[in-house]
Amino acid sequence: MALAALPRRDEHARRQLAEAARGARPVVLARDRILPVPGPVGERLPSGGLQRGTVTTVHGPQGAGATSLALHLAAAASAAGEWVAAVDGERSLGGIAAREAGIALDRLAVVRGVSPRQWAATVAALLDGVALVLACTPAEVRTGDARGLIARARERGAILVVLGAWPAEAVLRLHATGASWDGLGDDGTGLLATRPLEFTVEGRGAGMPVDVPATGRLARAG
């Protein structure tokens, strides 16, 4: 079921996906309410990770590293042996980028071809079955739909990472402000080894937003 592509408006297929993933989802104890995010990114987050049952948003201008940052957060679930689902309406999430970010492709389901009208229902169904859902937002998300997804994530103890505009509350808001690849020499030769990211963190326990550079082998996506 890695990189599964579902037909548009195929509600039966979406339900099957959620049911199949639910069997792989472990029971979450109270002491495990925080999903640790490894590396320098996690070091900048309150409690060192993502709180289950909450929404985290990631946004930023094109090329600033927002996609890489979101994939890095999603990889935390893979590191814990859990399932990740992605709703990729713009087809901006590729298998190579996901693998380089540390996401296990055999525990990744990607849903594409979702119309804006069906977006919220699709995300809600996935929250029923997997530990973390990474959802690229359509051009506009209704406030009522956003609040419904907040409630669904809280009820199911799942993590929703939203990539794009979000009209409602979020426990954490990460704003990517810049990214560039390191590894090339002065003559333009060499290997791209690391991608330093600069981002701000706002939310519960984050204090005042500050620029925090984080360096690691992240996905080659903007």
Nearest of 17, 68, 116, 102 to residue 214 by alpha carbon: 68
Q: For position 2, what pLDDT does the model report?
A: 45
Q: For position 217, what pLDDT does the model report?
A: 40
**Residue 121: pLDDT above 90?**
yes
Amino acid in the structure at residue 129: G
- In whole angstroms, what is the distance from residue 20 CA to residue 126 CA? 10
Confidence tier at 181 by pLDDT (50, 70, 90): low
Give per-residue burial for 121-152: e unless 16+ CB within 10 Å, then b: bbbbbbbbbbbbbbbbbbeebeeebbebbbeb
Q: Share the mean pLDDT of the chain.
A: 80
Instruction: Check: CB of residue 111 under 8 Å from CB of residue 122.
Output: yes
- In whole angstroms, what is the distance from residue 184 CA to residue 191 CA? 6
Instruction: Check: CB of residue 134 under 8 Å from CB of residue 74.
Output: yes
- In whole angstroms, what is the distance from residue 89 CA to residue 5 CA? 11
Note the residue count of the chain: 222
Q: Which range in 19-33, 40-54, 99-113, 141-155 is most confidently predicted, on average pLDDT? A: 141-155
Q: For position 16, what pLDDT does the model report?
A: 57
Q: For position 75, what pLDDT does the model report?
A: 95
- In whole angstroms, what is the distance from residue 175 CA to residue 177 CA? 6
Q: For position 90, what pLDDT does the model report?
A: 72
List the beta bridge partners of residue 199.
Answer: 176, 212
Q: For position 179, what pLDDT does the model report?
A: 60
- How much of the chain exceeds pLDDT 90, in percent? 50
**Residue 9: pLDDT above 90?**
no
Q: Which residues contact 1 (CB under 8 A, 6 or more apart)?
A: 17, 20, 21, 109
Which tokens hold the place of 96?
């190579």
**Residue 126: pLDDT above 60?**
yes
Ordered by where they begin, the domains of the chain are 11-21+36-214 (3.40.50.300)
N- to C-terminal Cα separation, the chain? 26
